[in-house]
Every structure is written in structure tokens, then in C-alpha cells.
Amino acid sequence: MMMVCILAIVGGCAKDNQLICDDSQPLYDQADFPIGVAIALAPFDNNPTYRAVATQQFNRFTAENAFKAESLQPIQGLFQWEAADALVNFSAGTNKSIHGHTLIWHQQLPAWITTFEGDAEAWEQLFKTHIQTVINHFKGRVAAWDVVNEAFNEDGTLRNSIWRQKLGDGYIARAFVYAAEADPDALLFYNDFNLEFNITKRNSVLAHLDNLRKRGIKIDGIGLQMHVGIDYPEPSQIAEALRHVVSHSFRVHISELDVSVNLLGRAIEPTAALFERQADYLGKIVLHYKQIPKQYQYGITFWGVSDRDSWIPAYFGREDYPLLYDESYLPKPAYCKLVDVL
């Protein structure tokens, strides 16, 4: 779909506080697949502008942290649903779908899990109980889950996470079995980073998941996190990754998209030219995504609303501007480009 930018070039849209393109029409209205965003509860609850932009533009929400084990089960057996429920209920009232992220991961675990001392059976029980209690609680309200997140190393071997140490290599298979048992209708995803360009890792993940499917285990799709940068990887590598995943008949979720303008963490100038490059890069990714067959397009989810909310500066300690909106919640060239290519 084409759209007109009101001012084609401005010297740094954030600073000049000028609207460079019209964002009055929701992104999701212009796409034929869901357009999602990671929601952080603090700004969602406290910043009306954040909440308005998130609600107006996106039709799928992933909780950025609220569905992780440390949030949902901070103490063994004492599940804390309140914050996650508030987001899910809000979503239902505004026609958003929720992508459940994430059931089994090696990070953001509560201390009671990382220090748990029990035998194999006790570990299996803890593992199954977490998966099934969470899925059951949201059944009918959360239609898709990242069942396992980041289980592979860059060299294609299995990450020696606490789950693998305690449960053995078969834990990935069993996580999917337990998930399907709890909600046979939910879409079940494996989610990971760098699959966009690391062929060794991607081959291992695909071989592993193919094997589980051969054993009759339900796996519906793969989340490519897509924390990428304007200089790396090449969009053609991403196109190749998309084709590769589809050739194995997995739906593709671009699940945590952000486009760094400063992957190397240098001192940078956030110029208009830099944001144009970011826009071009994003445009290419989205055009490649549109090339895959419809039935494999689960959707594209951005990992945050605005540059103010991105996890990257805090997590990696670098200056960056990786999202669609600037720090004043004005759409950036990346937003304008997205509308052009959708």
C-alpha cells in the first residue's frame, strides 16, 4: 500500500518534533498478517501515549516480561496472574491476540527453580506443572505459545541450560507434548535468535524439530527473533532463512523484531540519513516476509513501541534507536517505510 509522507526529509524527526508521515491509520489495518508488539507493563500502565500508540497500531501483543517464569511463578506453586491477566483482558476488549512468551527458557527464572534440589521425577513434575498450569490458566484467551525459547547454541549443539542438565536432551520434545496436552488448539512455537543468518544453528533447530514431528509431536512454527542491525545480516540472508523455515513446513513468526542502528556500540549521530537506512532495511525484510506463502505468515512482532522503550540500550549498554517510533512517540522513517511496503 502506498502512502504519502508529509515531509520527506527532516533533520532528525525526534528532535524537530515534526510528523514525517501520517500514522492515523493502524498498521494492522494495512497488513494482511498480524502486526504485533512487545508490551512492557510499566509504560503500558503509566504512560497514556505509549498505551494509545500500542493499542491503535498493533493487533497482537506479546508480554515483554510478564509471562516469563519469574513473573508468573515467583514462588513454587504460587502463581501470580494479576498483571498478565490485566494485559490479556485488555487485549480481549480491544481485539488483540496474545502471543504467550515464554514457557521454557533458561533466563528470567525464579530463584526457587535455579536452586531447586530434587530428583529427576521432582524436576519433571516442576517442569510439566509450570507449562500446564500456565497454559490452562490462559486457555481460550492465549492462542499461541513460545513453548521453548533459545535452546540451541550458536554451533548448533543443545544449550546446556538448567532444563537440559536436569531433564536431559528430551526436554524439548516433552515440553511440546505437555503443551499440546494442556491445549490441543493452541499454536506451538520454538523461538530463537540468530536463526536469521546462522545456518549451522538453523540446520540443527530444523533437524531437531523435524525429528520431533516425525514422532508425532505437534510443533506449528518457529519464531525468528530478528534482533538485527542495518549492517548485519544482509536482507538476502533473511530471505534465505524465511524460505528455509517454510521449506520445512513451519509457520514463521518474526517474533522480536528490532533494527539496531548501532550494533557495534559506538558513539553515533542519530541523523536523518541513518534513519533512512534503517527504514530501507526494514522495508526489505518485510517485503521478503510477504514473499512466503500466506499460510506460513503467522505475523511480525516488534520488540517494543518506541525507541524510548527498547530493551537494547539498557541490556547491551549502548546508544540505539531500533524501533518504529521515536522517543516522543512520533513515527520514524521506518514506520513510513513499513506502511509503504505492507
Residue type, 60: R
- The span from the CA of 300 to the CA of 342, in Å, is 11
* Nearer of residues 267 and 315 to ligand XIL, judged by Cβ: 315
Q: What does DSSP say about strands 221-224 and 251-260: parallel, antiparallel, or unpaired?
A: parallel
Q: Is 153 a binder of ligand XIL (CB under 6 A)? A: no
**Which of residues 28, 176, 289, 311 is near ligand XIL by CB under 6 A?**
311
CB nearer ligand XIL, residue 30 or residue 65 = 65
Provide the minimum distance between the beta carbon of 311 and ligand XIL in the complex, in angstroms, as a whole number. 3
Find where cell 558513539 sits: 267
Taking residue 218's Cβ as centre, other Cβ atoms within 10 Å add up to: 16
Per annotation, catalytic residue among 117, 121, 256, 276: 256
In the three-class reduction of DSSP (H, G, I as helix; E, B as strand; rest coil), residue 325 is classed as strand
Structural contact between residues 221 and 253, judged by C-beta atoms closer than 8 angstroms? yes
In the shown chain, the binding pattern of residues 99 to 138 toward ligand XIL, with x for contact by CB under 6 A and - for none, equals: ----------------------------------------
CA pair distance 72, 130, nearest whole angstrom: 9
Whose Cβ is closer to ligand XIL: residue 20's or residue 312's? 312
CB of 149 to ligand XIL, least distance (A): 5
**Interacting residues with ligand XIL between 223 and 242 (CB under 6 A):** 225
Is residue 71 near ligand XIL by the rule CB under 6 A?
no
For the four alpha carbons of 285, 290, 292 and 294, in that order, the dihedral sign comes to positive
In the complex, least distance from residue 38 CB atom to ligand XIL, rounded to whole angstroms? 6
The answer to whether residue 64 forms part of the interface with ligand XIL (CB under 6 A) is yes
Q: Rounded distance, CA 334 to CA 319, Å?
A: 18
Among 57, 149, 198, 306, binds ligand XIL (CB under 6 A): 149
First to last CA, the chain: 6
Report phi then psi at 240, rounded to 5: -65, -45
Tell me whether residue 93 or residue 315 sits nearer to ligand XIL (CB atom): 315
Q: Which of 64, 124, 150, 196 is labelled catalytic?
A: 150
In the chain, the largest separation of any two C-alpha atoms, in whole Å, equals 64
CA distance 80 to 104: 17
List the grid coordinates of 65. Answer: 516480561
The number of residues that bind ligand XIL (CB under 6 A) is 7
Tell me whether residue 293 or residue 315 sits nearer to ligand XIL (CB atom): 315
Strand partners for 190: 148, 222
Q: Which is it for the CA torsion 55, 137, 63, 198, positive or negative?
A: negative
Per-residue mark of binding to ligand XIL, 246-285 (x: CB under 6 A): ----------x-----------------------------
- CB nearer ligand XIL, residue 225 or residue 278: 225
Task: State yes or no: is 150 an active-site residue.
Answer: yes
CB of 257 to ligand XIL, least distance (A): 11
Residue 70 annotated in active site: no
Copy the grid coordinates of residue 2.
502506498
Catalytic residue ranges: 150, 256
Return residues touching ligand XIL (CB under 6 A). 64-65, 149, 225, 256, 311, 315
